[in-house]
């Protein structure tokens, strides 16, 4: 790395897992200067000890995820998470993954001062005990929105849009990388409001599906438990990981759980029937990829109204 030679020689052996993954050119003092103002703690994660901040980085609002690395197991887990984050962020046509903007390794003394109060609380780090360690992986990403558990939907169509984007985006990642997220839940699905409605095109098995986003965009995060297949022998006909599929069924049911509408509204009654049909079709998918085609066509039909 581009740090001092004597300091590099003192680095733990387990940091080798990050070779070729992190930015090795930028000095710690350089990226620290790009962080300006105060930081806001957004939450923590599972797996390695983690904490996420909202920061101003290069004059833009960004998310910074810090993963505490104490040993070889932590390093392997953090390196895998960074690898998955970078790979899925390259799938622009999936539309649901945040871009990874940069990543660094730093010891405790190289962290910005703004981070330290939160680190003492959330990661049980006592800087009075350790002068150098532990090390941290720093991942700088696009800033997401609130999670589905906190979001207030403006219209029923936004609910259908969320379901469509999530399922289609995940299928593209599964087909491209054999992605197994393994932790799909409300807290890991962020929703961002956009200024105007756009049409998103998802290409799956050579077929294009056009979903109107209804001014809402889905962002799937937290890949601490995820796996991908980097070989050239991916099976494009294999089924989704059962854990991901069951999580999708549960979440889509919650997202589409609309309040009953007035009996006098024919349009609303028709919408309810379509949403019920959509949920029923999702529940019947089991592990058969071919059954997702009618789901995408139904979502396409509902959202383009």
Residues 201 and 228 in one domain: yes
- Distance, in Å, from the CA atom of 69 to the CA atom of 130, rounded to the nearest integer, reads 13
Structural tokens at position 189: 């699905």
Name the percent of the chain lying above pLDDT 70: 77
Tokens of 33: 């200067």
By mean pLDDT, which of 54-63, 135-144, 166-175, 233-242 is the weakest?
233-242
Q: For residue 31, what is the domain's CATH number?
A: 3.30.200.20
Q: Specify the CATH number for the domain of residue 239.
A: 1.10.510.10
Separation CA 191–CA 151 (nearest Å): 7
- Whether residue 80 sits in one domain with residue 207: no
Same domain, 128 and 191: no
Model pTM score: 0.85
Are residue 177 and residue 289 in the same domain, yes or no?
yes
Predicted confidence at residue 249, as pLDDT, reads 83
* Beta strands 100-107 and 135-142, pairing class: antiparallel
CB 132 within 8 A of CB 109: yes
Rounded-to-integer distance, Cα 142 and Cα 166, Å: 18
261 lies in the same domain as 201: yes
Which residue(s) pair with 208 in the sheet?
Answer: 203
**The two structure tokens encoding residue 160:** 């259908």
Which pair of tokens denotes residue 139?
A: 């991942």
Q: Distance between CA atoms of 48 and 60, rounded to whole angstroms? A: 27
What is the tally of structural domains in the chain?
2
Quick one: pLDDT at residue 165? 96
Place of tokens 């889509």: 252
- On whether both 223 and 104 belong to a single domain, the answer is no
Q: State which of 142, 164, 186 marks the end of a domain.
A: 142
Domain final residue pick, 96, 118, 142: 142
- Number of C-beta neighbours around residue 88 at 10 A: 27
Q: Which residues is 125 bridged to in the sheet? A: none
Same domain, 118 and 162: no
Q: Is the peptide bond before 134 cis (omega within 30 degrees of 0)?
A: yes
Q: Do residues 167 and 248 lie in contact, with contact meaning Cβ atoms separated by under 8 Å? A: yes
Backbone angles phi, psi at 8, to 5 degrees: -65, -40
Q: Are residues 18 and 113 in the same domain?
A: yes
Report the pLDDT value the prediction gives residue 1, as an integer from 0 to 100: 45
Residues 211-256 pLDDT 10s: 999 999 999 999 999 999 876 655 555 556 668 888 888 898 889 8
Strand segments, DSSP code E, in 133-277 are: 135-142, 189-193, 199-204, 207-212, 216-220
Could you read off the pLDDT of 77-135 as tens digits, one per residue?
999 999 999 999 999 999 999 999 999 998 878 888 777 766 665 555 555 445 456 78
Dihedral angle sign, alpha carbons of residues 286, 295, 146, 261: negative
* Final residue before a domain boundary, out of 111, 142, 173: 142
Q: Do the strands 60-69 and 35-44 form a parallel or antiparallel pair, or are they unpaired?
A: unpaired
Question: 225 is in which domain, residue-wise?
Answer: 156-303
- For 133, the 3-state DSSP assignment is coil
Same domain, 166 and 63: no
């Amino acid at each position: 790395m581009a740090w001092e030679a004597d300091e590099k020689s003192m680095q733990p052996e387990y940091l080798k897992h990050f070779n070729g993954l992190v930015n090795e050119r930028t000095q710690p003092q350089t990226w620290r200067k790009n962080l300006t103002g105060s930081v806001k703690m957004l939450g923590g994660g599972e797996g390695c000890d983690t904490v996420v901040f909202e920061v101003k980085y290069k004059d833009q609002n960004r998310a910074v995820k810090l993963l505490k690395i104490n040993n070889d197991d932590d390093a392997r887990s953090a390196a895998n998470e960074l690898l998955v984050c970078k790979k899925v962020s390259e799938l622009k046509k999936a539309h649901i993954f945040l871009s990874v903007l940069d990543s660094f390794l730093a010891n405790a003394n190289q962290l910005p001062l703004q981070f330290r109060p939160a680190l003492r609380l959330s990661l049980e780090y006592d800087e009075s005990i350790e002068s150098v360690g532990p090390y941290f992986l720093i991942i700088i990403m696009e800033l997401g929105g609130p999670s589905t558990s906190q979001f207030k939907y403006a219209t029923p169509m936004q609910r259908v849009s969320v379901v469509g984007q999530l399922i289609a985006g995940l299928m593209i990642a599964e087909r491209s990388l054999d992605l197994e997220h393994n932790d799909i839940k409300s807290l890991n699905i962020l929703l961002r409001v956009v200024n105007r409605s756009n049409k998103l095109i998802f290409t799956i098995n050579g077929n294009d599906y056009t979903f109107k986003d209804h001014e809402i965009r889905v962002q799937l995060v937290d890949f601490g438990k995820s796996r991908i297949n980097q070989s050239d022998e991916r099976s494009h006909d294999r089924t989704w990981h059962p854990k991901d599929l069951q999580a999708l069924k549960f979440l889509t049911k919650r997202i589409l759980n609309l309040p009953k509408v007035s009996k006098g509204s024919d349009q609303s009654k028709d919408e309810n029937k379509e949403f019920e049909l959509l949920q029923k079709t999702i529940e019947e998918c089991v592990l058969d990829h071919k059954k997702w085609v009618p789901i995408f066509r139904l979502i396409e039909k509902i959202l383009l109204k």
